Structure 1
Amino acid sequence: MYRKEFYVLDRKMPVSAVIRNYKTEDFDDLIAVQRESFPPPFSPDLWWKKEQLKNHVELFPEGALCAEINGRMAGSMTAHLIHFQPDDPDHTWEEVTDGGYIRNHQPDGNSLYVVDICVRPSYRKLGIGKCLMNSMYEIVVHHGLERLIGGGRMPGYHEKCSSHTPEAYLESIVKGEFHDPVITFLMSCGRVPVKVVENYLEDEESRNCAALMEWRNPFLE
């Protein structure tokens, strides 16, 4: 199982942080993080349900990570294993994650797929999201997987959709012409765009599009 203790800087002050596997007793805290992270107009249906979290810790506990700051739940990241075929990359979030229940987890999969990443708003300046992402990269290496992969929302796209296709919008982000709060963050974590996937998730800001983003295991050819 996974546990990493380290420090983050809060206005230059070192603060104790832990990333570890989440457990049954963490479920209420994990749902509280989502409640703060996705307030109205987001639907409460988007928050984790305890049955989903139960599946995460039973089917693939290695991919169920949470971050604590000074003992308080600050964020979480969930992933499971899939067989990813680069020549057939299109899918929806609902299909690939089983709607967040991951009953389609494939223990012999070649790729670690990101189901969700969430950080409490009050902790987003501390780099917790990047720390969680790096922990998932370590899991990829530890298991000898080919990649970490997942769809990233493009919430800035709705402001450019009248003049740009989603592909052109993504290309402009890569060129540094546009800044997108999700895609630019994922790139800063080392993720690389693979392609745009349309109808990935019902998301008005992204016009239902997502950028499929991967991190390849550098220890594999």
Structure 2
Amino acid sequence: MIRSLVLLIAVMFVLLSSACFSSHETIRDIRKLKQDHNAYLDGKAPGIPMSTEEQMRRDQDYNNRHFSPWHQGRPQSGRADIAVEFEKYERNPGYGENGRKHTGAWIKKLKRNARLQEYSGDGYPAVTIRQSSLRSLPTATPHFNRSRQSLSGHPFDNLQATAVMVNTPVFISHISRDKEWVWAETGYYFGWMRAQDVAFLPA
């Protein structure tokens, strides 16, 4: 009994001691490559890479594009832009996260919810209140080109157009039938966004 107890204590001591020492090796690139960015600048480059005037011009260009959804009276995209995505995925229903092929009923249900025939083109400004996404269809369900048994086309969700940061200006021009999705435009792209991710701005 005593011998077993001593053996147990010895094993625990070895395990605890080994946990106190780190055997992590520094990444080779960090050891071999200089971490000072200035080391990679061409010595022949001008002292000032960009003038103050050029910086201000580019900043203004960025702001004009970034805030453009709040200054447009009409959407830059239209019903045709929404419809073309449905046509694309009607031809290629693809696969879901469970590895099963999407059915024709799946895309038809999404199309009914999008109520394209009621698209008016009217709209109003809004802002994202959390990290969000622009989607090609009004659903969080992914679309893969292949089943999960195949490495090709997985795990890249074809319906994910782009991420959208919080506090991004957007223009809303359409709402889904279930009120869960809105057709949104940012200064750089458009697509379906969760309605809970935006707050409408007063006129």
Structure number with higher strand proportion: 1
Task: Classify the TM-score, shorter chain.
Answer: under 0.3
TM-score by length of 2: 0.26
TM-score by length of 1: 0.25
Structure with greater contact order relative to length (CA < 8 Å, sep ≥ 6) = 2
